[in-house]
Structure 1
Amino acid sequence: MKNILLLLMLVVMGNTAAQDTIMPLWTKDEIPNQIKSLEKEVHEQNEILRISKVQVPTIEVYLPSKRDATGEAVLIFPGGGYGILAYDWEGTDIAKFFNSKGIAGVVVKYRLPSDVSQKDKRYVPLIDAQRAIRLVRNNAEKFNVESDKIGIIGFSAGGHLASTLGTHFNEKVYKAVDDIDNESARPDFMSLGYPVISFGEMTHQGSKKNLIGENPTIDIVDYFSNEKQVTEQTPPTFLLHATDDTVVPVENSLLFYKAVKDKGGSATMHIYPKGGHGFGLGLHDEHLKDWGERMIDWIVSLR
């Protein structure tokens, strides 16, 4: 009898895990800006799972139970200076947090800029970001989400990518490959955690160099300085930063907040006195551990 109960429990657990799905963004023959090379994807696990040299971009979909589902989904862009992805710390852990609130969490494993395996590498992360949100919107019914309740969140350089998507969603940065590309790439809302925003004086030099190189033109610097790209169509935005962040100065969030405000948009900002950089969910910090709840309150206010 005990063996039968154990088998039933394993079946139930298996069915639950089956809702977490990994989907490629592209077929192998249709990956934009891809160059065939010997470069291989690298996974390194040491407290944090670091993924680099991404060759096959994917989304990893975490779904709440249908009974708890709110109909919302959030695409998650992990940070890592456009050199690696902090895939669990700022990715799957965040997805599980969203699931606990009835929200679908979708971790985007986007390609990182590479001179070896890509041409015109500057646009590759944005290409993958646009495709990812279109793919989720195209599968909204399958994922039990509403197509007009799909938001994004990004951390550090992932915050730069999220803000790039939130300000460049209408731009055609790749040639359509199928009907999925007919979907809108505009996020319905956007959260930015200690984000790189500007490629000006207050930037994170590593992210800037990895994405646009050592000697970019002024036009390219301005293009990827997202405080300069805000329009009336920029989605409602939640900003999170620590004043003592010495890696990505808090002025990045302040610049974006002001830009959204000046365009008559909706922005909410939480600036903490301490926390440094890269604190993720901040669960072990009494000052930071509730920021996720503040974000959920904000998402609820948009309903």
Structure 2
Amino acid sequence: MPSASRRKILAAAAALPGTMVAARALGQVTRSADIASFSKDTREPDMIVPLWPAGSMPGGPVPAVTEAVDDQWDNAGLRYRVAEHVTRPTIAYFAASNPTGAAVLIIPGGGYSRVGIDREGYESARWMNALGVAAFVLRYRLPADRWGDGPVVALQDAQRAMRLIRAGGAGRWKVDPKRVTVMGGSAGGHLALCLSTKVYDRTYSELDAADHLLTRPDGAILLYPVVTLGVGTHVGSRMALLGPNPSPEAIAQWSFDKSIPGITPPILLVHAVHDRVVPVDHSLALFAAVRASGGAIDMHLFEEGAHGLGLRGDPAWPISRWPDLARAWQLRNGLA
């Protein structure tokens, strides 16, 4: 996006309702006292649920890869697991102790070549649980592994996950099917956006009663999402999703900076202006596209911040209070 256009959208965004541009002048903002604790918590999922019945997974042929988990610790001493070469997609279910009936499907990022587990995944699930929201963390197949169905395999997994959540897991959980949010960061934000816009795309053949249910989420929380695969894209995500020489048609099919269907659910958008991985222009373009479609979108831009921060942001950064903004947004939209 040209810098002049970017300045215009930033200026316009600051003047619109539902939008906040937080600058350095705001100074330190204190986050909710317990936000950081969810990164230090060691609670694992209550249940791991396979997405597909044995022998029924679409998207083949299966690439010759071996699924693995890279288990590391970051500089702050926090666990940082990442799934690679996913061949058995799942949802990790975290039950809320005081459930409200609301649920969230969490889609971590990883550039479509890996899938985060802890940061943007389990940590956010624990936080949502504390608010009474049932949480499901998606471990999806990665287009970078070159599945037979190409980029569609990740969307197949996201659609199936949304349907299984609404179906109740054969009585293993109970959620209100009209209060299911999707939340995704970076490439996970792109997949959440695909789930929110490609609601009429039937990406696989019906398997069971769950596949009669809607795939459209009731709201979407998008953190520093990949929006366009065209000019200014995150090159790694485009390479993983579409390969080295994608056609203009393929780029347009998987980009959301030009037009958005009117059926797209309400969106909460969070991005740092100086994000060095996915430029803020992605969120600016999405904001403009949703506004043009007549859709509902709240956009929060922050001067300082890091890409992929999840709940681990520096408390001195105003962006680190995004969970409070997300909570208020969920309550306002009846999704909490």
Q: State the TM-score, normalized to the length of structure 2.
A: 0.81
Deviation readout 1:106-137 (Å, 9 max, x if unpaired): 10000011455x20221110111111101101
Q: In structure 1, how many angstroms separate the alpha carbons of the residues matched to 2:70 and 2:276? A: 25
Distance 1:18 1:143 in 2: 17
Matches within 5 A, 1:68-217: 68-115=98-145, 118-139=147-168, 142-217=172-247
Q: Distance in 1 between matches of 2:328 and 2:165?
A: 23
**Distance in 2 between the 1:18 and 1:259 partners?**
38
In structure 2, C-alpha distance between the alignment counterparts of 1:157 and 1:19, rounded to whole Å: 23
Mapped partners of 1:114, 1:258: distance in 2 = 30
1:62 and 2:94 matched = yes
Question: 170-179 or 46-55, which moves further after superposition?
Answer: 170-179
Contact 1:243 1:276 in 2 (8 A): no
Q: CA deviation at 1:281?
A: 1.3
Corresponding residue SS for 1:226: coil
Q: For 2:69, which of 43, 66, 88 is the aligned residue?
A: 43
Secondary structure at 2:263's aligned position in 1?
Answer: coil
CA–CA separation in structure 1 for the residues paired with 2:314 and 2:229: 31
| Percent of matched pairs sharing the same residue | 37
**What's 1:23 paired with?**
49
Structure 1: gaps spanning 5 or more residues: 1-16
The residue type equivalent to 1:228 in the other structure is K
CA 1:272/1:94 → structure 2, altered by over 3 Å: closer, same or farther? Answer: same
Tell me, in whole angstroms, the C-alpha distance in 1 between the residues paired with 2:251 and 2:60.
23
Pair 1:41–1:19, CA change in 2 (3 A) = closer
1:291 to 322, 327, 336: 322
Deviations 1:80-105 (A, max 9, x none): 10111111101000100101111111
Tell me by how many angstroms 1:18 deviates: 10
Cα displacement (A) at 1:276: 2.3
Over 4 Å off, 4+ runs = none
Residues 25 and 128, structure 1, Cα contact 8 Å, conserved in 2? yes
Structure-2 separation of matches of 1:45 and 1:114: 20
Q: Secondary structure at the match of 1:238?
A: strand
Partner of 2:6: none
Tell me the amino acid that sits aligned with residue 39 of structure 1: V
Task: Give the conservation status (yes or no) of the 8 Å contact 2:306–2:313.
Answer: no
SS in structure 1 of the partner of residue 151 of structure 2: helix
Q: Secondary structure at the match of 1:228?
A: coil
User: Quick one: distance in 2 between partners of 1:75 and 1:252?
Assistant: 22
Q: Secondary structure at the match of 2:291?
A: helix
Q: Report the AA paired with residue 93 of structure 1.
A: E
Letter in 2 for 1:122: P
Equivalent residue of 2:257, what SS? helix
Matches within 5 A, 1:274-289: 274-287=304-317, 288-289=319-320
8 Å CA contact retained: 1:260, 1:266? yes
Q: Give the C-alpha shift of residue 229 in structure 1.
A: 4.8
Q: What is the CA distance between 1:179 and its match in structure 2?
A: 1.5
Count of residues in correspondence between the two structures: 284
Aligned to 2:30: none
Per the alignment, residue 32 of structure 1 pairs with: 58
Q: Find out whether 1:238 has 2:268 as its counterpart.
A: yes
State the structure with bigger RCO (CA 8 A, min sep 6), 1 or 2. 2
Indicate if the aligned counterparts of 1:167 and 1:229 stay in contact, CA closer than 8 A.
no
Q: Matched residue of 1:29: which SS?
A: coil
* Residues 1:301 and 2:327 aligned together: no
The 1:115–1:281 alpha-carbon spacing in structure 2 relative to 1, beyond 3 Å, is closer
| CA distance 1:251–1:21, change in 2 (3 Å) | same
The match for 1:13 is none
Aligned counterpart in structure 1 of residue 298 of structure 2, from 268, 288, 291: 268
Cα 1:248/1:299, change in 2 over 3 Å: same
Displacement of 1:212: 0.7
> Aligned partners of 1:38 and 1:212: how far apart in 2?
19
Q: Structure 2: how far apart are the matches of 1:37 and 1:242?
A: 36
5+ residue gaps, structure 2, are 1-42, 74-79
Counterpart AA for 1:62: F
TM-score (norm 1): 0.90
